[in-house]
Structure 1
């Protein structure tokens, strides 16, 4: 769960797939950029793994996540966090 001032504003579900952390689902509503907020928390939690990935077909989410370092691999967006 992701919270601001003690109030829940979003949630996400992660799965380990080999050396990668995969975001199975994420949702929420807030006056902040939840894509960036969830990315920051998940990237921190995935320390020690090689990458973070998720599936999407939403063009806007692909564009926002590309700005955060994710690369499109088909309909999977992947961000390398370790060499």
Structure 2
């Protein structure tokens, strides 16, 4: 597993990952998320592509702020724990 995006192939899972990586109510991430969705937002965190609504400098600062604080394996383990607990936000009934 080489990228955070490998952990999130759908919007729900990508939003769960973002909740681990991003401070609540982060305005920049919120704007990016509203424009491109959660899966693309995660991809943009790790990529050098232009970020919609941000200039190059602001995008670099945003990426630096969201740089993975933990090893990817730690995040994968947290996600696995969330899924095993049954608390995934999925509608079960």
Q: Give me the TM-score of the superposition, normalised by structure 1.
A: 0.25
Structure with the greater alpha carbon radius of gyration: 2
More strand by share: 1
Q: Give me the TM-score of the superposition, normalised by structure 2.
A: 0.23
More helix by share: 2
